[in-house]
Amino acid sequence: MRRARYVITGSVVAAAVIALTVLGSTTTTTATTTSTVEATTTTTTTAATQASNLACATKIVTKWSLVPLANQTVVVSVNALDLAAMAPAAQAGFGGIILFGTSAPAGMAGIVAHLQTLTPDKYPMLIMTDEEGGGVERLTNVVGSFPWAQTMGKTMTAAQITATGLRAGKALKAAGVNMDLAPVLDVDGRSVEPGEADPDGFRSFGGSPSLVATDGTAFMEGLIEAKVTVVVKHFPGLGGASRNTDYGPATTKPWSVLKGTALVPFERAIAVGVPALMLSNASVPGLTTLPAGLSPVVILELRQNLGFKGLLVTDSLSAGAISARHLSAAQAAVKALAAGADLILAGSAGTPAASETFAKDISRSIVSAVVHGALARSTLVDAAAQVLATRNTLTCPPAP
């Protein structure tokens, strides 16, 4: 999501002194080999666990009727200060709530805990926000401030960036937020505030694919250590896009260019096990004329060629790039799910009642699409299972 108040903050994280011990060549080689084996084993084990969890989630949601299935794929938007009014959304089984605004309500953790007790079968919702740093910050009264990604990329080591992500993640987790729509992995070296002409600028760690891969993954690892679900964005990369998709249609750089540049950070994140990824609303010359989040071709690249197995989240389907195609958010949601996306973001922080009505309209459109054959029920089941598996460790009895 990129609907944010872009304000440069003056916060700077002090540099830490990192002491490195130089080892002999034989010892270093042995340690590296051992580390590589351990990392490979851990990654394989994690992948197997995630696959088992997803399979269990699929068994569970297959039994659900259409309305709960559709609701599970939709996120409700709300100002954080109105969070306590989200009880109906929790009871309806919506997949998540996205928080806007810069202030958390008093006792937010308790409010979230109460909402989670209201969900059907007590499966926790995704409680998410955009906490990137710099001018894209939420809940600053509990999370505090930290620099733009580009500032971090220029002034911090990877270890310091991980520590920043960990600190932010712990604060989010303590407030009840279990998902951060960050970090931005777009490659953009322009030192400008994000706006209509450039969606990234300071939001990017820099103009070098390898730097963005290293620093973006470092921030991601800090959040993961804090047990916050990470959503990297905006695949396949908005760096150098023709404009900000919030304001209207946009194109990325050509696919032939993106494959050797913009994909590098996403490939790194996928390799180390990122759990969720956000699709952009820009079209990709040479690959698709559709917004990436509505494109089966883009999602096929992710699933088959890049091997991503996790949750696919749309960017806001209320964006100008979507409405310019004469699509309502509800219509776009059906197309996104049909293309292979799992979780729908749309809307803004209106009144709680208006936000819930908006989310229900999207859900009704999804149900209608299944009933009338425009969306396969099996596709909706797959999406709902991904959402359920992302925030739940599930146990299913073995097949007889």
Rounded to an integer, what distance in angstroms lies between the CA atom of residue 78 and that of residue 85?
Answer: 9
User: Could you tell me the CA-to-CA distances from 121 to 92, 125, 198, 353 in Å, in that order?
Assistant: 11, 11, 43, 24
Residue 324: predicted pLDDT: 97
Query: Which residue, among 308, 333, 377, has the nearest Cα to 47 in the 3D structure?
Result: 308
Residue 18: predicted pLDDT: 30
Residue 395: predicted pLDDT: 87
Rounded to an integer, what distance in angstroms lies between the CA atom of residue 48 and that of residue 67?
Answer: 30
Residues of the chain with pLDDT under 50: 1-44
Whether residue 234 is preceded by a cis peptide bond, meaning omega within 30 degrees of 0, is yes
Q: Which amino acid, one-letter code, is at 315?
A: D
Rounded to an integer, what distance in angstroms lies between the CA atom of residue 264 and that of residue 216?
Answer: 11
Condensed to tens digits (0 to 9), the pLDDT of residues 274-290 reads 999 999 999 999 999 99
Q: By the 8 A CB rule, do 336 and 293 touch?
A: yes
Calculate the CA dihedral of residues 302, 303, 309, 312 and round it to 10 degrees.
Answer: 60
Condensed to tens digits (0 to 9), the pLDDT of residues 166-196 reads 999 999 999 999 999 999 999 999 999 999 9
Q: By the 8 A CB rule, do 75 and 97 touch?
A: yes
Q: Which amino acid, one-letter code, is at 301?
A: E
Rounded to an integer, what distance in angstroms lies between the CA atom of residue 276 and that of residue 366?
Answer: 22
User: String of b and e for 73-90 (b: at least 16 CB within 10 Å)?
Assistant: bbbbbbbbbbbbbbeebb
Residue 348: predicted pLDDT: 86
Domains of the chain: 53-391 (3.20.20.300)
Dihedral (CA of 389, 379, 300, 235) sign: negative
Condensed to tens digits (0 to 9), the pLDDT of residues 114-156 reads 999 999 999 999 999 999 999 999 999 999 999 999 999 999 9
Q: By the 8 A CB rule, do 167 and 219 touch?
A: no
